[in-house]
Structure formats: structure tokens, C-alpha cells
Amino acid sequence: MDKSPLYGTCYSNLARILTDLQTTADGEAAKQLAFALVLAKELKELWDEAASQAGVSSAPPSGPTPDCDPTNYRTYALLRDFGSTLPGLVKVAESEGLHEITILRMLRLSFGLGLEEARSALGSAR
């Protein structure tokens, strides 16, 4: 499986989150966030260069996904794998402006929940 689009999406989300945090941080935290943002950009450039040399596209796939839902649920599964909790993923999804139905689907796909379990978990997370 080609993971290039996943890396691009993860970078975009990371850059957006760091930028959002940087706008509200002050002092040393703002400096550390600025450093993290520079590091993220450097990693993106290294990935693009490595992908180019390997003949792999680093661009996200074009066109609709098979089920016509443009949400990349793999990003949330990856965040879960890296230790994000269910309430944390709900906050990320809400900050990205996802509709409640899409958040329920993300919870069901990421955590293997049934519909009622996802509804209850969403209510608890809020």
C-alpha cells in the first residue's frame, strides 16, 4: 500500500495544529512551537525528495474515494495508534469542522464501535 497520501495528510494536519497552537502560545512555548513547525516543514521536504527519488507521488490522490466521502479516516486511525484517546480524536475532528455524522463514522472505523456505542462515546467526549 502506498502511504504517500497519508504522510502528506499527516503533515498538513500537523502543520495546521502547530500553527493554531502557535497563535495562542506565548514565551517559550511559542518558540518551541515555531521550532516544531520548522522541523515539520523540513521533514516534509525530506519526504518529498525521497518520494521523488523513489518515483512515488507525494500528492494526495485525486478524485473521490470509492464511497465518495473525502474524509481520510486513516489519519484518525494513525493518531489513535500513536496514543490519541477517543476524546482527543473527537476534539481534532471538531477542530477540523467535521459534521457529527462524519465524527460518528470516524469513531466507528477507528475504534471498531457500533452505532450506539459511538453515539454514547461522542456524547461523553463532548
Per-residue confidence (pLDDT) for residue 119, from 0 to 100: 93
Which of 82, 81, 111, 107 minimizes the C-alpha distance to 93?
Answer: 107
Burial (Cβ within 10 Å: 0-12, 13-18, ≥19) of residue 21: middle
The arithmetic mean of pLDDT across residues 111-125, rounded, is 91
Distance CA 112, CA 120 (A): 14
Radius of gyration of the CA atoms of the chain, in A: 16
Per-residue pLDDT band for 115 (boundaries 50, 70, 90) equals: very high
Distance CA 45, CA 43 (A): 5
Burial (Cβ within 10 Å: 0-12, 13-18, ≥19) of residue 49: exposed
Nine-digit cell at 49? 525528495
Per-residue CA distances from 96 to 12, 54, 71, 99 (Å): 12, 32, 10, 9
Segment 29-76, tens digit of pLDDT: 878 878 777 877 887 787 777 777 777 655 555 554 444 556 778 888
Distance CA 22, CA 29 (A): 8
Per-residue confidence (pLDDT) for residue 84, from 0 to 100: 87
Per-residue confidence (pLDDT) for residue 64, from 0 to 100: 46
Per-residue confidence (pLDDT) for residue 116, from 0 to 100: 93
Q: Where are the domains of the chain?
A: 1-57, 70-126
Identify the DSSP state of 40: H
The arithmetic mean of pLDDT across residues 97-116, rounded, is 90
